[in-house]
A = this chain, B = another copy of it.
Amino acid sequence: MRQTGRLAQLMQALRCLPGVGPKSAQRMAFHLLLGDRHSAQVLAHALSAAIEHIVHCRQCRTLTEGELCAVCADPKRDGSQLCIVETPAEVFAIDQSTGFKGRFFVLNGRLSPLDGIGPDELRLDLLERRLQSGEVKELILATNTTVEGEATAHYISEMARHFGVRPTRIAYGVPFGGELEYVDGATLAHAFNGRKEF
């Protein structure tokens, strides 16, 4: 006997989730069908509704239900500071913990020529239009510290300078509460070279 039909299809479909292999998919499928089926139904509906209604913000490219996301639609946010992040999840993270009151631009990726991801795929044309408008004074680069993230930050900082906008980069160093002994070498080197007056 093999797993066929709709059960096998569900297991296969669950594998599109991040970090879910055949074993986890099987466990999830049985959990959904043997447990509370109402929750499973709610999940199916929530997923369909999200796919249908959630789009990219026309201005900053984060995920939103309307034309503009909550940040872009808020007239109280400071348009002179623009923070560049790679993903919508990072918008939430920065918004929840930093007290930043400026605006965002979400790349939904990073420059990676080998994967065919260039300025067009990141919609840097939209970013260029915003820099051109003259409203932005400071461009805060919060891309990740991977090779591609650094290359992307470099490329965008050049764009900013071209339009007379000051590019800044968020600080990298020893995590708050971290002990030097357990910090990796690259982070420690960053922290050491980026030392400030005390």
Contact = CB atoms under 8 A, between A and B. Distances in A.
How many copies the complex holds: the figure is: 2
A40 B32 contact: no
A39 to B, nearest CB: 4
Interface in A5-41: 5-7, 9-10, 12-14, 16-19, 24, 26-37, 39-41
A51 B35 CA distance: 11
**A interface majority secondary structure:** helix
A40 B15 CA distance: 10
Contacts of A92: 1, 3, 26
A142 to B, nearest CB: 16
A89 B30 contact: yes
Interface-centre pick from A24, A43, A51 (highest chain B CB count, 10 A): A43
**Interface size range of chain A in the complex:** 35 or more
A9 to B, nearest CB: 5
Contacts of A47: 10, 13, 32, 40, 43-44, 47
Interface stretch (A63-71, A116-124, A125-133, A181-189): A63-71
B49 A87 contact: no
8 contacts: A1-B71, A6-B53, A7-B50, A13-B39, A27-B89, A33-B63, A34-B63, A37-B51
Given A13-B45, A30-B88, 7 more contacts: A1-B71, A6-B46, A6-B65, A7-B63, A32-B47, A33-B54, A44-B51
